Structure 1
């Protein structure tokens, strides 16, 4: 096993500057809306120069891309825990629990609204939500493919089924954002997934006692 060397002081400072810019931008986006915030405002709030912003990000939209990258990094870190579940259905349930917890704890409805608004804008070309290369799609399609091999998940293109599942959950997340967080995202989200989304993926019906 290769040991990781500690980061140099310069790299630690660069990481901290990048984090400060990201957090300041998201805070301003939540307060004013994405289009109403300038790069000058972001750098002022972060306490850095405009040149520092362009060292890490080319445009404001790169902040949104970075947030999606952090979400996918989280899924990747949780992959081994998810795959320890015994079958495809329980793995999909475990994935959804992690997903709901991350959105509730790390995003909130305001940040989620900003991410969605940005992705729906006709002015920005990087549509991460529909990107099949995301860790989210790779992980869910892998679980589905394994479930198909064992006969637990319905047949079909695993990537397409993963996209259907993700579209369904995005509909719930959008409703949560529209309600300004008044919906219990953890409780109602798991009920929505378990009673409506998961049964559509299974090769056999869920039997309720």
Structure 2
């Protein structure tokens, strides 16, 4: 994308995020975004079909952050347990950086990104598969299901953080619950005996 095009797109995203902080996702209209970004209607619809697309772009930014920054830090020289813990540490860190008002807007039943399997989720699933192969995580539950458990848990913690207006440290709370959940996915004795037999 050319620099001027990228600048226009970023103006739209920034204006939308600012409006979401002020009045929430549901209260924000495309017309208000266009006015706040000081762009034409045609420019908006050149980049986005609707305001929902802007939310998707915000999620893609998080995926890009994980792909470019986090993946390199979580190499397979570390145990899968450490990698999962660090994965969610970065998830919480990025969430607090986005800001509680924006997160409140994003955590909507109308957000289609909660219904799709994103790249960062694929990355976590790969870590879980690796942990199962190394005998660090139970094989009695499919990796995809374990990944889903983790995201249900963490989204619940983030929702609670939003409800309590960010009154506690999200990174510490996420770390606490991830450690508890990881213990539930450690290998069972049946996993170990199956591994010995094979």
Structure 2 length-normalised TM: 0.89
TM superposition shift of 1:67: 0.8
Gaps of 5+ in 2: 190-198
Query: Which whole-Å deviations, capped at 9, do the CAs of 1:109-154 have from their partners, x for residues lacking one?
Result: 111111112xx03xxxx6221322x112211110111100111101
Q: Which of 78, 93, 97 matches 1:86? A: 78
Contact 1:165–1:197 under 8 Å retained in 2: yes
SS in 2 for 1:33: helix
**What's the counterpart of residue 114 of structure 2?**
129
**What's the counterpart of residue 196 of structure 2?**
none
Q: For 1:48 and 1:87, locate their aligned partners in 2 and report how far apart those are by CA, in whole Å.
A: 49
Contact 2:137–2:187 under 8 Å retained in 1: yes
Count residues in correspondence: 187
Q: For 1:112 and 1:167, locate their aligned partners in 2 and report how far apart those are by CA, in whole Å.
A: 16
**What's the counterpart of residue 169 of structure 1?**
154
Q: Which of 154, 168, 177 matches 2:138? A: 154
Structure 2 residue 30 is matched with structure 1 residue 20: no
**What's the counterpart of residue 96 of structure 1?**
88
Q: Which of 28, 31, 46 matches 1:55? A: 46
Moved over 4 A (4+): none
**What's the counterpart of residue 3 of structure 1?**
none
Contact 1:30–1:111 under 8 Å retained in 2: yes
Contact 1:22–1:63 under 8 Å retained in 2: yes
Report 1 or 2 for greater relative contact order, CA contacts < 8 Å, sequence distance ≥ 6: 2
Query: Which whole-Å deviations, capped at 9, do the CAs of 1:69-113 have from their partners, x for residues lacking one?
Result: 1111111122121125511001101111111111111x1211111
Question: What are the equivalent positions in structure 2 for 1:67-82 lying under 5 Å apart?
Answer: 67-77=58-68, 78-82=70-74
